[in-house]
Every structure is written in structure tokens, then in C-alpha cells.
């Protein structure tokens, strides 16, 4: 069954906008787990505009559910991951000035680099996932890099879903099938929400994990965090 990992970056964004420690990011991580989240995701960036490296260190011993750290494997990020040793690291090729993740890896052009990174994390027993666009060729390239999973970048699915959900999901089904044929686990994330998540999971029921942050925190403003997490869990636990 698909697991729900809650990305808490946006909670850190609110805290950082005012300074101090309100809301408390570490408490939010613990609360998300208590409310049923099956994973906690953080995506620290070098400028620490939301999740800080210190947050990552503080959260790690406080949660018992899966801990997933996303980011571009620059040296400081790699050092952090190797220090903290999360359950999973998701490699994302985001530029230093990116507002949010906006593309997957070209796993063919970056094969040597990604192979080296995956090998280093594997030696520490960390499951490695590579963020890719919905393209079977990129999945096959990822498999050659030695990763354990791929995460499909789902922005295009979310954008097309209101107009034509079948056309929106088609390239993701092909990509997911390629991952299964390559023996890779399958994650997904970016712009998934209560409207489009259920159809995604029904169409690709072998999805291992979805990582959702912006939509969950936005919905929580109206529904409360506990009820929001329960609502999202109902969308992934449909089989």
C-alpha cells in the first residue's frame, strides 16, 4: 500500500517569516507522525529559507516513522545526509535560486555523478531515490546509477488533470511500468492534492510513497493538520 510522507517545509517557511520558533517545526514533525503520517520529508536548501540544516538534525531522533531528506547532492547536503542517516534520500537537481523543484534529473547525462552519489549513500545503508520527469528513458538511466527508487515529478499531471485526467496520467503509467520492469521502487510528488491524488493511486497502485507538502499545509489552514492528514490517508488507502 502507498505510504504518505508529509513534507513540512512550509511550516518552516512560516516560522522563518517572523523569526523565533513559532510554529515549532520539530513539534510539527512529531505531530504529523502522531496524526498518522507514515513519513516525514524535509528539503533543506543552501540558503535555509525554510528547513534549516539544524532542523534536520533535531528532527531525526524525535520521529520513529520514515525520514526522507530531499535535495541537490552538493557537498554540504551530502555531509548532512551522511551525518543524520535518514531512511531515504531523494536526489533533486534544483538550482540554488529555485523557488521549488521544477525538473527531474537527466540520468543519462549525469550518470557518472549520480552513480557515485548513490554508491556513497548505499554504503551508509540509506535508500536512494532519484527525482525524474515522466520519461521511461530517465527511469532506465536511473536504474544504471544504482538507486533503489525513482520519484516521479508530478507537476505536469496536476496541471493537466482538471482538463483531461486520462491524458494527464498516461505518461506516468508508462514511467511507472518502466520502473517496475527495472526493479525500482516508485515514489511520486509535487502538486498532488485531495482532488487528484486518489485517481493517481488508483491508476498506479504499486506506488510505494507519495510526498506532499504545500497542499497539505494549505488545506490544514482550513481543516486542521490532524484532519487534513487523515483526509490524505483516505486517498492513498483505497485498496
pLDDT in tens, the chain (239 residues): 899 999 999 999 999 999 899 999 999 999 999 999 999 999 999 889 999 999 999 999 999 999 999 999 999 999 999 999 999 999 999 766 655 566 899 999 999 999 999 999 999 999 999 999 999 999 999 999 999 999 999 999 999 999 999 999 999 999 999 999 999 999 999 999 999 999 999 999 999 999 999 999 999 999 999 999 999 999 999 86
Per-residue pLDDT, 36? 98
Backbone angles phi, psi at 146, to 5 degrees: 90, 20
Known catalytic residues are: 43, 70, 190
Which three cell numbers mark 158?
A: 496536476
Per-residue pLDDT, 95? 67
Per-residue pLDDT, 99? 53
Q: Please count the structural domains in the chain.
A: 1
Per-residue pLDDT, 94? 79
Distance CA 201, CA 198 (A): 5
Q: What is the CATH number of the domain that holds 28?
A: 3.20.20.70
18, 36, 144, 159, 181 from 49: Cα distances, Å: 12, 27, 34, 26, 38
Coil/strand/helix, residue 128:
strand
Per-residue pLDDT, 100? 58
Cβ(182)–Cβ(141) under 8 Å? no
Q: Which range of residues forms the domain containing residue 22?
A: 3-236
Amino acid at each position: 500500500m502507498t505510504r504518505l510522507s508529509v513534507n513540512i517545509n512550509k511550516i518552516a517557511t512560516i516560522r522563518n517569516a517572523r523569526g523565533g520558533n513559532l510554529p515549532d517545526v520539530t513539534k510539527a514533525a512529531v505531530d504529523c507522525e502522531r496524526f498518522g503520517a507514515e513519513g516525514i520529508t524535509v528539503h533543506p536548501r543552501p540558503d535555509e529559507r525554510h528547513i534549516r540544516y539544524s532542523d534536520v538534525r533535531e528532527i531525526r531522533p524525535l520521529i520513529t516513522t520514515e525520514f526522507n531528506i530531499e535535495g541537490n547532492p552538493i557537498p554540504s547536503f551530502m555531509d548532512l545526509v551522511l551525518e543524520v542517516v535518514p531512511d531515504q534520500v531523494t536526489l533533486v537537481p534544483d538550482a540554488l535560486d529555485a523557488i521549488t523543484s521544477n525538473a527531474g534529473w537527466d540520468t543519462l547525462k549525469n550518470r557518472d555523478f549520480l552513480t557515485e552519489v548513490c554508491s556513497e549513500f548505499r554504503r551508509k545503508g540509506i535508500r536512494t531515490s532519484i527525482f525524474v520527469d515522466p520519461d521511461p528513458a530517465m527511469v532506465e538511466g536511473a536504474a544504471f546509477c544504482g538507486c533503489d527508487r525513482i520519484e516521479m515529478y508530478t507537476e505536469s499531471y496536476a496541471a493537466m488533470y482538471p482538463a483531461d485526467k486520462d491524458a494527464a496520467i498516461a505518461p506516468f503509467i508508462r514511467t511507472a511500468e518502466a520502473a517496475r520492469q527495472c526493479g525500482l521502487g516508485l515514489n511520486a510528488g509535487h502538486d498532488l492534492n485531495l482532488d487528484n491524488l486518489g485517481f493517481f493511486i488508483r491508476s498506479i497502485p504499486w506506488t510505494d510513497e507519495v510526498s506532499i507538502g504545500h497542499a497539505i499545509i494549505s488545506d490544514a489552514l482550513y481543516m486542521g493538520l490532524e484532519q487534513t492528514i487523515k483526509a490524505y490517508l483516505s486517498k492513498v488507502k483505497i485498496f
